[in-house]
Structure 1
Amino acid sequence: MAEVKLIPLEVLLGQPERAAAQISPDGKRLSYLAPLDGVLNVFVGEAGTGSERPVTHDTNRGIQSYLWAHDNRHLMYLRDKDGSENFRLYDVDLDTGIERDLTPVDDVQCRLIAHRKQFPNDVLIGLNKDNPQLHDVYHVDLTTGKLKKIVENPGFVGWVVDGDLKVRGAVGTTPDGGAVIFVRDDEASDWRPLLEVPPEDAESTGPVGFTKDGKGMYMQTSVDSNTGRLVEMDIASGAVEVIAVDPNYDIAGVIMHPDTRAIQGVTVYRDRLEYSIFDDSIRGDVEALQRLNAGELLINDRDHDDTTWLVAFDDDSGPVKFYRWDRVTKTATFLFDHRPQLNDYPLVPMEPFSFAARDGLTIHGYLSFPAEVERTNLPTVLVVHGGPWTRDGWGLDPEAQWLANRGYLCVHVNFRGSSGYGKEFLNAGDHQWGAKMHNDLLDAINHLVGQGIVDSERVAIYGGSYGGYAALIGATFTPDVFKCAISMVGPSNLNTLIDSFPEYWKPMIAMWHKRVGQDRDFLWSRSPLSRVDDIRIPILIAQGENDPRVKRAESEQIVAAMKEHGIDHEYVMYENEGHGFVKPENRLDFYHRADRFLAKNLGGRVE
């Protein structure tokens, strides 16, 4: 590895130079996130002039995402305090530079619901102000800043807004862990059920939006199918028209015309993201863009005239590249790399692989090999994704690059319970936390050991959230498999995890019981804390003090138990963080600790 340049953690995992590029609705201005005195803020300037300047001035956690209002004058963004996830909605007037807090209420979470081109000054949001478990719908007038409740929530967990900015759809939950999609003909009508979703379909079914005439609703649903299909349902008759389906994978994304609301195409995530285009008017654009770069094409933004697109290419072995695409001239203008310094370092590809689990189920994943070494007997880090009802994909993964650069094989596994592979695969994870879901991880390592790729004596397990739980399971249930473990915001006791969910998660408790379990003795038997005395490997645990999902007690109770048993461990708690680490100084501190921890236990390189 001596000939491979060491990549500094700051380059891989610090702040990007620029990110999240968008175009203004009129197509004339470019915006992006960039550090201002080390903190991410929004920059805006005339497109193609390099005149971008900061228009927000956050000095704390930075702005993680933002969007243009359709009036071309305001930018909106959500921001919380120290990771609490009690987000407030802010805006900045680009003409005056004035920033406003549009939801100045403490201990309340704001969710952005909808805004439409035809109503440029109007925004619909959800606030759990009157009932912490439920988000009522509020209207925000961007001209005056006035906030007004327009729909009181009778018990729904999600809302669907039609093209006229009317709240006409909703999602509710059922006591058995299922769901119901509701509709109403207009805002004066009563709600009625449109689709009853069984528990086995609830995680892979949901509304996409209304058709332009408001008479139909697009849905991604696995009802009457194994994979999640895109369908249009007539809200009067309930008749279903299938628009797109793949026999093996769920529909991953939908391309909808911003004005006609016609479906122009879909994406399916196999080993990589693949497009199916239905609308000939954009087929040439997508095909030309795919010829431009080998990375994953992401259509991030479209202006009001739909003549200018803002696209990005996510490449597994290079920085994310942003382009402006002119649909009239069919020309692309390169804007920037999000981390241009990465061009100076040796990055490695993500290689898809698959194997048969011990019960015959096919499991997919990705391997990132260290460069310039023989692919035999490698020290290995098994990185477990969070969720767990999500999946790992292909593209630039800074953690994979970090680990491969240090000399480790990085293994990502889409274990049963991961999404995207159909409901049978997802439902195979029900009640399998710490059991078959964990066995899939072990089977991945055994498969690679059997091929001579992995050194069975030098394997670490690492992850955040559910992945942190999996790391703790690895240390407690199967300590002989792993040399060490790293858990970031991982739950240690499934009973206290569920007991301490934030109020706005309480309506979804039935889904958790269906997916994870309800009996307290059963949940305890699948909790790492129940076997803490079996730990025989060193553990690094990192936690955010204000995490609303996995409370700090989840880390502290297992740390206390390890202290009592004299178990080798390192614990770091970041006082101004939540479910994951946002502030760059905290992120880098964590990764430096992990860098040293892995080098000590697996023998890799360290910065």
Structure 2
Amino acid sequence: MALDVDDEGRMLVLYDGTGTRQVNEVDPDGTWRALTDLDDTCRGARFVPGSSRVVVEHDTGGDERGQLSLLDLDEPGLPTLTPLVHDAAYIHHLVAARAGSVLYTTNRRNGVDFDLVTHDLATGRETVLYDGGGWVMGVDPSPDDKWVVLSKASSPANSMQLLLLDTSSRSVTELTAEDAHNDQGPVAWLPDSSAFLVSSNADRDRMAIRRYDVSEAAWSDLLVDDARDLAGWPSPDGEHLLVGVLEDGEVTLALHRLEDGSAITALDLPAGGCAGLLYATPDPIWSPDGSFAAITYNSPVVPPTVYRFVPGGELTAIRSVEVPAELQHPESLRVPSFDGEQVPVFVFRPTGPSLGSTVVHVHGGPEGAAMRIWSPIISALAGEGHTVVVPNVRGSAGYGKRWYSLDDRQLRLDSVKDLAAINAWLPTIDGDPQRAVLWGGSYGGYMVLAGVAFQPDLWAAGVDIVGIASLVTFLENTSDYRRSMREREYGYLATDREFLESASPLSRVDDIRAPLFVIHGANDPRVPLSEAEQITDALTKRGVPCQLLVYPDEGHGLAKLTNRLDAYPQAFSFLRDHLA
């Protein structure tokens, strides 16, 4: 996974060959060097221009409370990490590194709102650039550092507000309304800082590439496709624009002219995968001189791979990994649901001897999406002999604003009804509805629990990973900074409590009959461990077969290879036993 490129063409990448994601340096000649070897996962890194230093973001035990440290590339062997911004009680998210300073966001003021801070590397002096409140989820400084685009979670579900910060006066201009139902993707400045591009669905169903000119304070459309989502990344030399196109879970890239958006050529990446853009892989990163771009690509048959792309020249993988030849791309199908809507699904056929069973694998979010990406779990389930159905139930991104809005608030259980429609549809792909199980993580874990609770006759078993058992206790106990954002999607504790209780699997726990396998991290800052404990305690008291695995060094999911190799084989065995 590509993180940054410096003036000499060196890249920083995240690589998990040691069992956790660590920062590595890749020289232009392809030489690799490990820069970190932590027990926990690194979350990001940036070169500090004009120096030999790199700033690294890392957390502890999956708690997502990022801490910032410096390392010196001139130090031989494995460099020592020196603390830069550390306070284990709060989040510090690395935004950018400039010559002599680091830009980051933090919630240390009150644990809820995220402020934008610049840290002087010579003096240690910190300056707050923005403390206007809210969850600032994206920060994009202009090349000349005069401006910063802030992307802040706004009041409608799945919506972001764009703000423009003047760094000298600290004044903030609202570029979009706080109550507008607009989502957005990547923001990218033009090299002269006169304007920026953003992927946005303002006033339309799909993401278009829009341009905002600072001096004119005016919006215009650069590229629009009414059927597909678009995003763009301009090169620092002002010549080129990489354009990503998302269609049915696949992201392709093409080179365009930045001046007018006209197409030059499609990139010859493998078919059927994702190269940046929305829930798939990191965005492409241009070298400072625009001579090449680092592109992270993956697919159901290709693990995450970083490519070096030279406009008008070659596209080269910096390291390739051999994978089993039996891995396959999925079929893309549609399932008619209860109200006539068509649910997009990807179907992975068994690559091992068929068990005659189906695993419905539900993504997290809920505003996330099932993409055509590398998933060892889905591949392993197919290798076990299961047919794996991967749906984008209503509420999923990637199929337009209308589709991802169909599960908001009181419509929550309509997405669960999509699961019942999939179960009824299974005979059309030679599946047995009575040998169908649910598997999902985070919001997908909620869907697993909701399926077995609200549709107890349909599902033979469930695997719930860091899932929500009660929307009420989840909202009460999740991290303070996440609560307001999650309430806008699920409903508000103060006004919607009755509905939240009725839509909670825990409210129907006495109806659950399907065996349940539950995995949770003790340090989960999003879905507290108590969600897993209360559902498994209730099922154990009723004598429903259930098993809970808790990992003390994990957060929202399993990041460490040792834990994955412990948990998932047990989950596979659990399914084999209860489908026998």
TM-score class normalised by the smaller sequence: 0.7 to 0.9
Q: Secondary structure at the match of 2:174?
A: strand
Q: Is the 8 A contact 1:322 1:335 kept in 2?
A: yes
2:89 is the alignment partner of 1:112: no
* Residue 254 of structure 1: aligned partner: 232
8 Å CA contact retained: 1:472, 1:528: yes
Name the CA shift for 1:429/1:248 in 2 (closer, same or farther; >3 Å): farther
Deviations 1:506-554 (A, max 9, x none): 4535523559995111100000110111011110111111111101111
Superposed, 1:136-535 pairs within 5 Å as 136-142=115-121, 144=122, 146-158=124-136, 159-172=139-152, 180-185=161-166, 187-188=168-169, 190-198=171-179, 201-202=181-182, 204-205=183-184, 208-212=187-191, 214-235=193-214, 239-251=218-230, 253-260=231-238, 263-275=241-253, 277-279=255-257, 287=266, 289-290=268-269, 296-297=274-275, 300-327=284-311, 330-338=313-321, 340=322, 342-343=323-324, 345-371=325-351, 378-431=356-409, 435-449=413-427, 451-508=428-485, 511-513=488-490, 518-535=495-512
Indicate conservation of the 8 Å contact 1:209/1:217, yes or no: yes
**1:182 Cα deviation from its structure 2 partner:** 3.0
* Structure-2 separation of matches of 1:267 and 1:563: 47
Alpha carbons of structure 1 residues 410 and 284: separation in structure 2 relative to 1, 3 Å: same
Displaced runs of 4 or more, over 6 A: 280-285
Deviation sequence 1:297-347 (CA, Å, 0-9, x none): 56744322322333444232244444434447x234443224x3x24x521
Cα distance in 1 for residues equivalent to 2:251 and 2:316: 23
Report the Cα distance in structure 2 between the residues aligned to 1:88 and 1:549, rounded to whole angstroms.
18
SS of 1:473's equivalent?
A: helix
Q: Percent identity?
A: 25
Q: Distance in 2 between matches of 1:325 and 1:537?
A: 49
In structure 2, distance between residues paired with 1:301 and 1:461:
37
Who is 1:597 aligned against?
574
CA distance in 2, matches of 1:277, 1:175: 36
SS of the equivalent of 2:62 reads coil
Supply the distance in 2 between the matched residues of 1:165 and 1:196 (Cα, whole angstroms): 24
Asked whether the equivalents of residues 115 and 130 of structure 2 are also in contact (C-alpha less than 8 Å), the reply is yes
Letter in 2 for 1:77: V
CA deviation vs aligned residue, 1:9-49 (integer Å, no higher than 9, x gap): xxxxxxxxxxx256741345455445686554333354436
Paired letter, 1:578: G
Contact kept? 1:501, 1:548, Cα under 8 Å: yes
Unpaired runs of 5+ residues, structure 2, are 277-282
DSSP-derived class of the 1:469 partner: helix
1:555 aligned onto 2:555: no
Question: Given that residues 460 and 484 in structure 1 are in contact (C-alpha distance below 8 angstroms), is that contact kept between their aligned partners in structure 2?
Answer: yes
- Mark the CA change 1:30 to 1:129 in structure 2 (over 3 Å): closer, same or farther: closer
Indicate the SS of the match to 2:508: helix
Q: Which has the higher contact order (CA 8 A, sep 6+)?
A: 1
Could you tell me how far apart the structure 2 residues matched to 1:524 and 1:443 are? 24
Number of residues of Structure 1 aligned to a counterpart in Structure 2: 567
TM-score by length of 1: 0.84
Taking the aligned partners of 2:252 and 2:213, their CA distance within structure 1 comes to: 28
1:568-579 aligned within 5 A: 568-579=545-556
Q: Using the alignment, how far apart are the partners of 1:403 and 1:120 within structure 2?
A: 48
Equivalent residue for 1:53? Answer: 33
CA contact (8 A) 1:176 1:510 kept: no
CA distance in 2, matches of 1:513, 1:520: 10
Partner of 1:4: none
Distance 1:596 1:510, change over 3 A: closer
Query: 2:361, 2:438 within 8 Å by CA — same for their partners in 1?
Result: yes
Aligned-partner Cα distance in 2 for 1:71–1:179? 34
TM-score by length of 2: 0.88
Q: Is the 8 A contact 1:221 1:229 kept in 2?
A: yes
Q: Is residue 6 of structure 2 the alignment partner of residue 25 of structure 1?
A: yes
Q: Please say if residues 137 and 150 of structure 1, whose CA atoms lie closer than 8 Å, have aligned partners that are also in contact.
A: yes
Unaligned 5+ residue runs, structure 1? 1-19
Q: How many Å apart are 1:103 and its aligned residue? A: 0.8
Q: Deviations over 1:56-87 (max 9, x none)?
A: 231x1243543433346223321111121111
* 2:24 is the alignment partner of 1:43: yes
